[in-house]
Structure 1
Amino acid sequence: MTLAVLFAGPFAWLVLAALKTKTEWVTIPTKILPETPQWENFTRALTEINFTAYLGNSLFLSFLYAILVTLSSAAVGFGFARLRGRGKRPLFVLVLSTMMLPQILTLIPTYVLFARAGLVNTYWPWVLWGLAASPFLVFLFRQFFAAIPAELEEAAIIDGCGYGRIFLRIFLPLSRPVLWTSFLLSFTWIWGDYIAPALLLDPDHTTLSVAIAGFYRDPHGNPHATVQAAAAALYVVPVLVIFLFAQRYFIRGVVSSGLKG
């Protein structure tokens, strides 16, 4: 219950802030509830920010990256879990160690590489990031695949299946909970990301998070934080909807990924 309040509290505050007037917003001490809910703030957020266009950019990038990184991470995790080879464990540790590198540390080198390749102001960086897999998701898939009985793999090999078919026909369908978990996590990573799209995309092709962050004054130079709060509240809705539909798979995937070390 306490965790629910901690997570729901900021969103409730955001919605209440979106329903206030500018005067109520700057009044100290602030009032929790608005005297007259300003529902027009949501209408203004949809029209003045070009909400639908930036929403489309965010959805496209998030779905694109989530699908690619889920499939690539599943393939890499399968390799670490079931394929035999010398040096596999040190290589797995090396992959996991990259999680300790903060994004800000690789920001400038990443930008320089993409700029020299002519990929700035395109969506190719997210394609490449997706194909490169995610160390954390590789860990989830590796843990899940390692817990699958070896008899399934041995029976498939006896029937003449190669590891490619074993992965696609047996292991991938069995990993549906982890697939959903991976998809949800990676979707929210890109959906909530600000630094990468702000750095790599021009204002016309950027995502909704960047557009909302830059929308703190109207064309006349007047601050309108309440409209910005309304846009931010609307921005959270797609993630909530996706999570509500897939939460049972998400929980099952997290639990099943810890079955075997």
Structure 2
Amino acid sequence: MVLARRSVVHMLLVAMLVLFLSPFGWLVITALKAPSELRAVPIHWWPHHLTLDNFSQALTFFDYLGYARNSLTIAVIYSTLITLASAWAGYGFARLDAPGKRLVFGVLLSTMMMPQIITLIPTYLLFTRAGLVNTYVPWVLWGLCGAPYLIFLFRQFFTNMPKELEEAAIVDGCGQIRVFWRIFLPQSWPVIATSLILSFSWSWGDYVAPALLLDDDRTTLAVKIATGYVNEHGTGLYTLVAAGVVVYIVPVLLLFLILQRGFVSGVATSGLK
């Protein structure tokens, strides 16, 4: 009975895995097809002649590496700053006492339910009047403000740390800043890994903000892939789009593979107390 139940569970897991991976599989298959096969009737589910030409053309059709450098610059700046800012805010909510702390934390969490599209136009107007359009400064400011969800993760992690560590450091003459940098932050590697993966993915995959704030020379790879693969007649080159997207997701996959152990541990240890 137990063996049969495990077999059913494994079959369900395999079915879910196939379901979740099917869009990526179809993307890879499309990237390996010749352009003529996309117009074939009936549809060719598998390429008749596998080709890697789409990948070479996708990387040279426009300055792919240049736009990738723009995306990487923004993603690294944003993910680094937002991780540090969220960690510091989470430490304050977890270990420091102040009047109204619970109320402020509740208001912070409530902002997670606000759709970002609501603040899109006001944000654009503010950055325009401040002369920050077509610069990377908005991502610096967003990073310095932290993120409610990441602050929540750090707060939960720091809350569960032994109070004796903090007391021993204070007895040795450490202030709150040194306690944070010397003790709490180094111990929070699982949450740091989680924060880096999530924030890097947010910034790397963001289309709306770069399209709104940056011109064509300084925009990101996400915007250029969505708009750049067209021929002289304005028709989309979908096999090149597929190839470009396959290469586009590689940095996020590599980051996750490098930090996955810390990511899983961070999610597991930062739940509600």
TM-score w.r.t. the length of structure 1 is: 0.96
Q: Deviations over 1:85-110 (max 9, x none)?
A: 11000100101111111111110000
The answer on whether the counterparts of 1:49 and 1:212 sit within 8 Å (CA) in structure 2 is: no
Residue 67 of structure 1, aligned match among 69, 74, 80: 80
Q: Deviations over 1:199-250 (max 9, x none)?
A: 0000011000000000241235443111111101110111111111111010
**Aligned 1:57-136 pairs, distance under 5 A:** 57-136=70-149
Q: Does 1:228 align with 2:222?
A: no
Percent identity, aligned pairs only? 56
Residue 20 of structure 1, aligned match among 16, 33, 37: 33
The answer on whether the counterparts of 1:49 and 1:215 sit within 8 Å (CA) in structure 2 is: yes
Q: Supply the distance in 1 between the matched residues of 2:66 and 2:35 (Cα, whole angstroms).
A: 26
Aligned to 2:197: 184
Aligned to 2:67: 54
**Counterpart residue identity of residue 59, structure 1:** L
RMSD: 1.2
Residue segments in structure 2 that go unaligned for 5+ positions in a row: 1-13
Residue 211 of structure 2, aligned match among 190, 195, 198: 198
**Aligned 1:209-224 pairs, distance under 5 A:** 209-224=222-237
**Aligned 1:135-174 pairs, distance under 5 A:** 135-174=148-187
Residue segments in structure 1 that go unaligned for 5+ positions in a row: none
CA positional deviation for 1:38:
2.3
SS at match of 1:199: helix
Q: Deviations over 1:119-173 (max 9, x none)?
A: 0000000000000000000000000000001111111111111111110000000
TM-score w.r.t. the length of structure 2 is: 0.92
Comparing 64-73 and 35-44, the one that deviates more: 35-44
